[in-house]
Chains A and B, each alone.
Chain A
Amino acid sequence: MKPAPLTCHSPTSLDEALRLLHDIGSEAKVIAGGQSLVPVLNMRLATPGHLVDITGLPGLDEIRVGAEAVEVGARVTHRQLERSPAAYAALPLLRQTLVNVAHPAIRNRGTTVGSIAHADPNGEMPMILALTGGTVTAVSVRGERTLAAADLFVGPLETVLEPDEILVCARFGRFPEGTRTGFTELARRSGDYALAGAALAVQVIAGQMQQARMGFVSVTEVPTVLDLTDLVAGRAADQSAAVAEAVVERVHAHIDPESDIHATAEYRRHLTGVLARRLLTDLTTGEPARTSEEALRGAS
């Protein structure tokens, strides 16, 4: 289907974009890469009268690697972030996860910040923002505010953002020394949204596990972080099998999967436990393994 009639505005400055959003009001919608919004418009699930395109705004196209965080501008595509050597070196989890977001043709246009604004519980990057203790900065004609992931997401496809606010960047927090990370998911076809997915960050110092956190895709309503530190701290990494059962139990208690035509809630629960155990094993018994997906889809 085709979208309903609309006016597409192409502002050339952030101020102009904010003014447009404010003046037009609830009939206006921000469009970045359009990879989530245009399907919705094509199916006429939404019929905004005005779109404010932010892909022409100057200065939102940078990836900045700092000591504390990797800052990603609103125009940076999934693909640019995935391919950034500096971002990979600072926070490998970004690339490890991004190669699982849709297909390259979608990642070439879709933005990472846009997927965070979209707040889909099936989306990988909102979860990664939460897992890394990240923040976003939103601006409007009223000024600027910075929000922690925990304060941003309020429900499936729902954030605290006002309709006239633009997210200008997201900051993914960097992990402390010795942190190993991994992401794994199961999708019915390559590039599909995951039936279930999980990411793990576990710190290993002198062979001992210290902090550990896990995040999940498609099995929680909003991105939440499961802290596993009390289960693993002080244990030898190569003995992680001893705590695997307890980790899986903790995961099962934390998640809240739903049934749909693709999988039952019970299956998703089981699957998430399997993925969690696999991540723990991969990251603690040997070198952090690249997922086969990542190897296959050539993050080069």
Chain B
Amino acid sequence: MTTDNETYDIEAGTELTEPVTLTVNGVDHRLDLPGRRLLSDALRHDLRLTGTHVGCEHGVCGACTVLLDGQPVRSCLIFTATVQGCEITTVEGIGDDPAHPSAVQQAFIDSHALQCGFCTPGFITTIEAFLTDHPHPTAEEARAAVSGNLCRCTGYQNIVTAVCRAAELKHEAGGAEECAGCPWDGEQS
């Protein structure tokens, strides 16, 4: 790769880096990163948080979705240097202990909402933020909530069910009432 800017030393094969401070799952990290480092790559390669998956790298598939100050965003469309001072939450920050999955993760298990699992981290982060804003989703709202994430395995039906199941689990945990119009019948296992 040749380039007419000074960031890449062709002779030495090295690239200039800048110090970057990144807050991920409540932990501050100081990293030295090239300007072109995407947030998705900083998470996976520099911080070894490989829960965030990378599919298309142009914003379409949703696999790389993380929360930026609580709101879902595509980490493949963000330069790491531009989100210093923001609070980033990855799927590991939502639940990183197989013995204690988060409500959304448990709902995915209950509802058989994943097969290969490649798309799952993007769904978990998206749904986590959605349920914060819409604690009582209808089935229709649940379907719309996941319409920006692609899954090549499941056919989506069980993912929609999982959204409603997660709402129900969150309510149970919080002692709140049933979710409205939920297709989850509570009988499946």
Contact = CB atoms under 8 A, between A and B. Distances in A.
A38 B78 contact: yes
A223 to B, nearest CB: 23
B73 interface: yes
Given A5-B34, A7-B5, A27-B5, A105 B126 contact: yes
Contacts of A34: 77-79, 82
Given A8-B82, A42-B58, A190-B144, A51 B35 contact: yes
A63 B81 CA distance: 26
Given A2-B36, A2-B38, A49-B7, A39 B78 contact: no
B157 interface: no
Interface in B43-81: 57-59, 62, 65, 68, 71-74, 76-79, 81
A4 B36 contact: yes
Given A8-B35, A8-B79, A35 B59 contact: yes
A50 to B, nearest CB: 7
B77 A38 contact: yes
A49 B141 CA distance: 43
A79 interface: yes
A2 B57 CA distance: 8
A105 B15 contact: no
Given A38-B77, A296-B140, A53 B5 contact: no
A49 B57 CA distance: 20
Nearest to A49: B5
B35 A296 contact: no
Contact of A43 (B58, B71, B74, B148): B58
Interface residues on A, range: 35 or more
Contacts of B76: 38, 42
B8 interface: yes
B31 interface: no
B77 A109 contact: yes
Contacts of B116: none
A108 interface: yes
A108 B71 contact: yes
Interface string A1-24: 111111110100000000000000
B62 A5 contact: no
B144 A5 contact: no
Given A4-B36, A42-B57, A298-B144, A105 B73 contact: yes
B41 A2 contact: yes
B188 interface: no
Nearest to A48: B5
A55 to B, nearest CB: 6
A51 B34 CA distance: 13
Contacts of B57: 1-2, 39, 42
A168 to B, nearest CB: 18
Contact of A109 (B58, B74, B133, B148): B74
A297 interface: yes
Interface in B1-44: 1, 3-8, 15-16, 18, 34-36, 38, 41
A49 B148 contact: no
A5 B71 contact: no
Given A43-B58, A297-B144, A298-B134, A6 B36 contact: yes
Contacts of A163: none
A69 interface: no
B65 A190 contact: no
B77 A35 contact: yes
**Which 4 pairs show the lowest CB-CB distances between chains A and B?**
A49-B5, A103-B148, A8-B35, A5-B8
Interface of A: 1-8, 10, 27, 31, 34-35, 38-39, 41-43, 47, 49-51, 53, 55-56, 79, 102-106, 108-109, 189-191, 296-298, 300
